[in-house]
Amino acid sequence: MITVPQSMRAMPRWTRDEAGRAWLDELPQLVAEQCRTWDVEVDGAPLHGSNAIVVPVARGGAVFALRLAPPGDDVTRQVEALRFWDGRGVVELIEADPAHRAMLLERLDGARTLLSVPLDEAHQVIAGLVRTLAVPAPPDAPTTAEVARQHAESFERDWIALAEPVVPQQLRAAVDHALALAAAPVADTAVDADLHHGQVLAGTRAPWIMVDPVLLRGDPEYDLARVLWTRLDEMPGDDDVTAAFRAFVATVDVPEDRARAWVVVRSFSYLLWGLSHGMTEDPMRCRRLLDIFA
């Protein structure tokens, strides 16, 4: 049976998650059962991200990756996203068992992500993937406008509950931008709502492939803030940040004002979420983005 990596057990996210800790204890047995279901054998040491565990597996001469997610993870939505894009810029789905939060996926190189690539090159790869994914979306997909509307309704309440962690002017900017984005016409473009360097792995059929996509319909610039905050510490000057922002806008060919609005809204949202979950480093990065763009 596999051994759950200690680095996964040590993640702060499990501190308040009793069901998640129980799932970690059950993982070796769950992996063994899923391997029997899909007639595969463990073929290497497990890896993990911020959420799921990924186990290299094989069947005959074919190699795959077995992904298991914790309780509460919306695997059905992830399966729908993978089936929609069907390998276009994203990892290929081989089998799915949403009831057990399990997927059998194309094997990628989990040791090589865009986090290991020079920043300018990594940003260009991500921008290119955004364009690759930007095909007509299903009409029933959740929209970026709906997300903006929810934020507009909750920002002030959550800001007060967290003892007003940023100045009122930044709250007002975030709410105003969210209201404007919610009211704007919705594009029919497919968007990945979980976009960052750690989600892009080296592949064989393509140099770089996205994993764990979340399908939305709307603005391709929706998750630019996450692209920026993921490697923000490598951009020491504010000019470096705005240069990266403008390069993304130019490559993806999106309106700069809407991109700026989404950076403010998404940074404010993650700031509040991070503080409410006891995070310390990422909220500081969000504050920096708000100082630059709000």
The two three-digit tokens of residue 264, written as one number: 């403010």
pLDDT at 223 (0 to 100): 96
Please indicate, yes or no, whether residues 86 and 216 belong to a single structural domain of this protein: no
> Are residues 249 and 123 part of one domain?
yes
Containing structural domain, residue 73? 6-107
Shared domain for 153 and 228, answered yes or no, is yes
Element (H, E) at 268: helix 256-276
- Rounded Cα distance between 46 and 109, Å, is 12
Last residue of a domain, one of 79, 107, 135: 107
229 within domain boundaries:
yes
Looking at the structure, do residues 84 and 118 belong to the same domain, yes or no?
Answer: no
CATH number at residue 74: 3.30.200.20
End residue of a domain, out of 107, 127, 159:
107
Residue 186 and residue 200 in one domain = yes
Question: Which residue in this structure is represented by tokens 């979340």?
Answer: 214
127 with 250, same domain? yes
Q: Are residues 264 and 146 in the same domain?
A: yes
Burial 158-197 (b: 16+ CB within 10 A, else e): bbeeeeebbeeebbebbbebbbebbeeebbebbbbbbbbb
The answer to whether residue 193 sits within a structural domain is yes
pTM of the complete model: 0.91
* Same-domain check for residues 67 and 138: no
Predicted local distance difference test score (pLDDT) of residue 152: 98
Question: Which pLDDT score, from 0 to 100, does residue 93 have?
Answer: 98
- Shared domain check, 151 and 33: no
- In this structure, are 34 and 67 located in the same domain? yes
Indicate whether 165 and 271 sit together in one domain.
yes
Residue type at position 199: Q
- Residues 6 or more apart whose Cβ sits within 8 Å of residue 279: 12
pLDDT at residue 148, as a whole number = 98
Q: Which pLDDT score, from 0 to 100, does residue 13 have?
A: 76
Q: Residues of the chain with pLDDT > 70: what percent?
A: 100
Domain presence at residue 1: no
Q: What is the pLDDT of residue 238?
A: 98
Nearest to 271 by CA among 263, 262, 282: 282
Q: Which residues are catalytic?
A: 194
**How many structural domains is the chain composed of?**
2
Q: How far apart are the first and last CA of the chain?
A: 50
Q: Are residues 246 and 116 in the same domain?
A: yes
Domain boundary among 61, 90, 107: 107
Which residues of the chain carry a pLDDT beneath 70? none
Please report, for the domain that includes residue 269, its CATH number.
Answer: 3.90.1200.10
Q: Hunting for tokens 């060919």 — which residue is that?
A: 253
3-state secondary structure of 58: strand
